Amino acid sequence: MTEHNPKAFLPLNIAVLVVSDSRTESTDRSGKLLEQRLLEAGHKLYEKRIVPDDIYRIRAVVAGWCADEEVNAVLITGGTGVTGRDGTPEAVRVLFEKEIEGFGELFRMISYEEIGTSSIQSRAIAGVSNGTYIFCMPGSTGACATGWDRIIAAQLDYRTNPCNLVELMPRLRER
């Protein structure tokens, strides 16, 4: 981003999904972090929900948001590990028309700098479904901060050069 960039900020409608069998609105920290970050960036919180780690419930919520023309992006925290009921990648991958492999690769590369080889346990993924960008991150607040601060925030900012995901959003081009 340069000070000579003539592009104006374009606020997006972003939905947040917390995948957890144990979190409630009062105990959720990761979803709140994402909500705070996106609002501070100037975006709008479309909706925030907490659902159990069940692939069909996750998929139903995300599919509903992708079908809603008002939703530009979905941030998901939780369910990306390798144990128990972790099923977020399996829930959303079938919705993707295109997977954004670079997100998971970059997330794990940055995570390696922060947590070492434990980063292999992350199955962070991203993709696009019906013009809606979906980002799946681990459930820890640190992972959500890493995902938003180091990758997602810039890609959801229309002013980011040389390119960003906002300029590729078909729903925004149709305005």
Q: In this predicted model, what pLDDT tens digit does every residue of 35-44 receive, in sequence order?
A: 999 999 999 9
Q: Where are the beta strands (DSSP E) in the chain?
A: 13-19, 44-51, 73-77, 98-99, 125-129, 132-137
Cα separation of 147 and 76, whole Å? 11
Decide if 83 is inside a domain. yes
Quick check: 3 pLDDT over 60?
Answer: no
Task: Please report how many Cα atoms fall inside a 13 Å half-sphere around the Cα of residue 66, on the Cβ side.
Answer: 22
Determine contact, residues 13/43, Cβ cutoff 8 Å: yes
Q: With cut-offs at 50, 70 and 90, classify the pLDDT of residue 6.
A: confident
Decide if 94 is inside a domain. yes
Q: How many domains does the chain have?
A: 1
Shortest CA distance to 166 belongs to which of 133, 141, 140?
Answer: 133
Decide if 8 is inside a domain. no
Decide if 1 is inside a domain. no
Decide if 6 is inside a domain. no
Q: With cut-offs at 50, 70 and 90, classify the pLDDT of residue 81.
A: confident
pTM (two decimals): 0.94
Give residue 173's pLDDT. 59
Cα separation of 3 and 15, whole Å? 30
Decide if 4 is inside a domain. no
Give the residue numbers spanning the domain of 23: 13-173
Cα separation of 62 and 55, whole Å? 11
79: left (phi over 0), alpha (psi -120 to 50) or beta: left
Q: Output the average pLDDT for the chain.
A: 93
Cα separation of 35 and 44, whole Å? 9
Determine contact, residues 51/17, Cβ cutoff 8 Å: yes
Decide if 128 is inside a domain. yes
Give residue 2's pLDDT. 46
Give residue 4's pLDDT. 56
Map tokens 């990758």 to a residue. 151
Q: What is the pLDDT of residues 98-134, one digit of tens each?
A: 999 999 999 999 999 999 999 999 999 999 999 999 9
Quick check: 5 pLDDT over 70?
Answer: no
Q: What is the CATH number of the domain that holds 126?
A: 3.40.980.10
Between residues 83 and 131, which one has the greater pLDDT? 131
Give residue 53's pLDDT. 94
Decide if 2 is inside a domain. no
Shortest CA distance to 20 belongs to which of 52, 67, 57, 46?
Answer: 52
Tokens at 160, concatenated: 């980011």
